[in-house]
Copies of this chain bind each other. A is one copy, B any other.
């Protein structure tokens, strides 16, 4: 059934239907009465001459009207219509017709049987009506529903691939009653504007104005697929969607198939006509769902009142549900989100200045919505879905569910803004489930393998660790199942908060691979502090201007053997991740920049680690402007040496550093600028279906 699908799933969801479309149909002759056969153009009828032969027959001849073509198997020497052909057990006729009939029983084929003495002993007649039937989709992915694409029933990745695409209709056409559209269980389409989120599908027919008596068309899906899609019909028939919006009501778009309806009769449009359908996805790919769904259209033949119809022709189309895709720091921002809290007014102002200067929109989540929860990075991840016909942003809501938990569905979900979440069944949510622990790299090529949408990065524990904390399985399953940004698991459980954004980020670069990986580096910090001491700044103080007890000199830092030991450990943890990232993203050392950052170990937190001073790698990246946690490092000639180093490192890439004071409002709460902000970015121009998977 899926032979042509690349990378077929190991255990495809059960297709509760008999196997594949048949292009050869066994068809019977009867010498007692003429047979009326409905023929579908593109198939062939396989007729056993022997089966219906009268007992005494030894040879036969065939005659037909001009539209009918036939061949005899096994092949016989060149014969005219009138010549008698010897009959044997395996003799069969293969019948086909090139185009649809204009009226019922337009064509005819007859077989005459002869006995030993070459006298006619029987005549079997077939009256033939030919129809063309095609269930059509945009299998070539150009936004237009072409006619009878030969690959429409299967799906292949890549620029030379094929197979139609479906969006999960997870936005909400209603601004007031927020609910994903696909969840609005109804008999009809929810709103005419919802049509644009759906994939077009057409039933095209040619032939007589009506099907012969008793024949009917059934559209059907298997049980497994029925939870994944819904098909709406279109009572307006030939009308285009654009026109329909002007003149139609939702009642013109009734549900044809879906979770409650696995099969339904659809009208035969008749003559040279077509009928519009609209298909929506109900769920994203996941562990149990490879994203592929099939819609079948069967032509049923009546037998008698007592017995059910049998299908004589089945056409099918395959869709893949579009994956949820994340957007790396190298994509252009569209909106920046931060929370207003009782204590972050100065921080808000600095962020606002940066965002305004950079030319982007700032959206502030107010206290009534955030209820004091400032970690908007952790509550949600922005992404998008894409298809040849439509594209919109989709927020992935974290199972973290802090006080911000209503923000994604109450504020973000809306017209053309989708929503998806994955909730673990038990209460196994930990800090690892916050989306500061979910990042994505820019596009990379690794040993020739292209990741044009980058790779997702999450943080977990080593499997050998006792009491290790991990991102919950349902979210990991979801991320892996999207396939187009194959995830990398890093080791982040050594941190108290445990998020990958505490030790790494990506910034755009004009050269090499178009970006740099920034890594926190205690070694780089010690090197800088040693340089300071060597240059006579050993008495310079960190946290200068803060209360005395916070301040500490460069020499005191360098002299603290315990701090050094702990930072050696931190460096080895980050180095482990550095090695993984180099391998999995195909990076060289020159693609990586070490940032001078120190950490400290918290005995009370199982020996896990927090940043010693504001963690500069936890920055917000807005094009060429970086919003970096102000580190309050030792001053040299009145200027913070850590800021100087950052500006020097980033300046080489043409990036501008803005240092934002998040000390009391975020850093002391174990987060920084990145944890306290979120950025919705422009989607990739690269279309995911063009990946070679």
Contacts and interface: CB of A to CB of B under 8 A. Distances in A.
B303 A263 contact: no
Nearest to A287: B11
A569 interface: yes
B285 A10 contact: yes
B473 A17 contact: no
A221 B290 CA distance: 25
Grouping DSSP codes into helix (H, G, I), strand (E, B) and loop, the A interface class, with mixed when no group exceeds half, is mixed
A322 B53 CA distance: 51
A535 B307 CA distance: 34
Nearest to A578: B26
Interface stretch (A76-84, A165-173, A508-516, A524-532): A524-532
A683 to B, nearest CB: 22
- The quantity of this chain's copies bound in the complex is 2
A470 B22 contact: no
Interface string A194-223: 000000000000000000000000101111
Nearest to A216: B464
Nearest to A217: B464
A232 to B, nearest CB: 19
Size band of the A side of the interface? 35 or more
Nearest to A10: B290
Interface string A7-30: 111111111111110111111100
Nearest to A564: B32
A82 to B, nearest CB: 26
Contacts of A304: 565, 569
Interface stretch (A132-140, A373-381, A488-496, A547-555): A488-496
B291 A288 contact: no
A66 interface: no
A587 to B, nearest CB: 11
A313 to B, nearest CB: 11
Contacts of A573: 310
Given A26-B578, A590-B90, A568 B303 contact: yes
Interface in A58-104: 73, 90, 92
Contacts of A568: 28, 303
Nearest to A3: B449
A298 interface: yes
Contacts of A476: 14, 16
A304 to B, nearest CB: 6
Nearest to A52: B523
A56 interface: yes
B7 A8 contact: yes
Contacts of A290: 10-11
A303 B3 CA distance: 53
Contact of A491 (B18, B470, B571): B18
A147 interface: no
Contacts of A26: 575-576, 578-579
Contacts of A361: none
B291 A19 contact: no
B285 A11 contact: yes
Max chain B CB contacts within 10 Å: which of A3, A53, A575? A575
B524 A51 contact: yes
Contact of A18 (B7, B90, B311, B462): B462
A534 B285 contact: no
A590 to B, nearest CB: 6
A73 B589 CA distance: 10
Given A7-B7, A449-B3, A481-B10, A489 B17 contact: yes
Contacts of A8: 7
Most buried by B among A13, A54, A286, A303: A303
A311 B490 CA distance: 13
A571 B477 contact: no
Of A10, A218, A594, A607, most buried by chain B (CB within 10 Å of CB) is A10
A424 to B, nearest CB: 12
Nearest to A480: B11
B17 A463 contact: yes
Given A463-B262, A579-B22, A55 B490 contact: no
Interface string A555-579: 0000000000110110111011111
Given A28-B572, A463-B220, A523-B51, A15 B580 contact: no
Interface in A238-272: 262-263
A7 B11 CA distance: 12
A298 B11 contact: no
A150 interface: no
A480 B10 CA distance: 8
A446 B566 CA distance: 64
27 contacts: A11-B285, A12-B480, A13-B287, A15-B489, A17-B460, A18-B462, A18-B491, A18-B580, A19-B580, A22-B576, A26-B578, A26-B579, A28-B568, A48-B589, A53-B527, A263-B464, A287-B288, A300-B464, A303-B568, A306-B603, A306-B607, A307-B566, A308-B465, A310-B462, A310-B491, A310-B572, A310-B576
Given A19-B580, A48-B523, A310-B572, 6 more contacts: A17-B462, A18-B580, A20-B580, A27-B575, A55-B527, A307-B569
The 10 closest A-B pairs by CB, nearest first: A11-B481, A26-B575, A55-B534, A14-B476, A218-B464, A220-B463, A10-B290, A22-B579, A303-B569, A17-B463
